[in-house]
Amino acid sequence: MENQFRAIIFDLDGVIVHTDKYHYLAWKSLADRLGLPFDETVNNRLRGVSRLESLNIILEGSDLADLPADEKATLADEKNEAYKKLLQAMSPADLSGEVRNTLQTLRERGYRLAIGSSSRNARLILEKIGLDGFFDAISDGNNIVNSKPDPEVFLKAAEYLAMPPEVCAVVEDADAGVEAARRAGMKTAAIGDAVRYGHGDWNLGTFADLIEIFR
């Protein structure tokens, strides 16, 4: 199966680098200000979905759930500004040697590599961790309308790579991302939280397992 692939598309948060703690702190700061409950259970529901959809999940069941769209946009921007401030603390030390070496090995084997992330801060994060300019294409929240599980972000990545979907594989840590890849007609390597759902074509114990899959 692996011999058919020519490109690998990676989700960013939770796959290449772990920014969950920064998202959590930024959302919790906003939720606390609004007097709304926010914990790890709520946070887990935000994996792989857009900023506005995440806000709607946090506002569910509260008096703020029916806020006008412009007011919701302002709240989402408040969270993003807090998140970006937290990201300033990131550095190349946040990229593990395992991930760096695996990516380099895959590149040396001739695979085209891309990012497929719902985040609008993907380029900032890549710059902070020392991967600015490393990927052949970046598809992120700035160039899509629909967030995962819609396949748009991965189809755009394939388009930017000039590759048909069937020769692209996706590495994802969110079940919504695995579903998005399936809808795009791509095989998926599940890692982290996505493994427990059992929907990936491969289930990774570690990021380095990709070296064995894509030989």
137 SS3 class: strand
Grouping H, G, I as helix, E, B as strand and the rest as coil, residue 140 is: coil
Catalytic pick from 13, 20, 150, 173?
13
Measure the N-to-C terminal CA separation of the chain; round to a whole number of Å. 11
Q: Does 32 qualify as catalytic in the annotation?
A: no
**Which one is catalytic: 11, 140, 150, 175?**
11
Q: Is 11 a catalytic residue?
A: yes
- 25 contacts 33 by C-beta, under 8 angstroms: no
How would you classify residue 150: left for phi > 0, otherwise alpha for psi between -120 and 50, otherwise beta?
Answer: beta
Give Cα separations from 205 to 173, 181, 210 (angstroms): 12, 20, 10
Residue with tokens 């990709």: 210
Which positions are catalytic? 11, 13
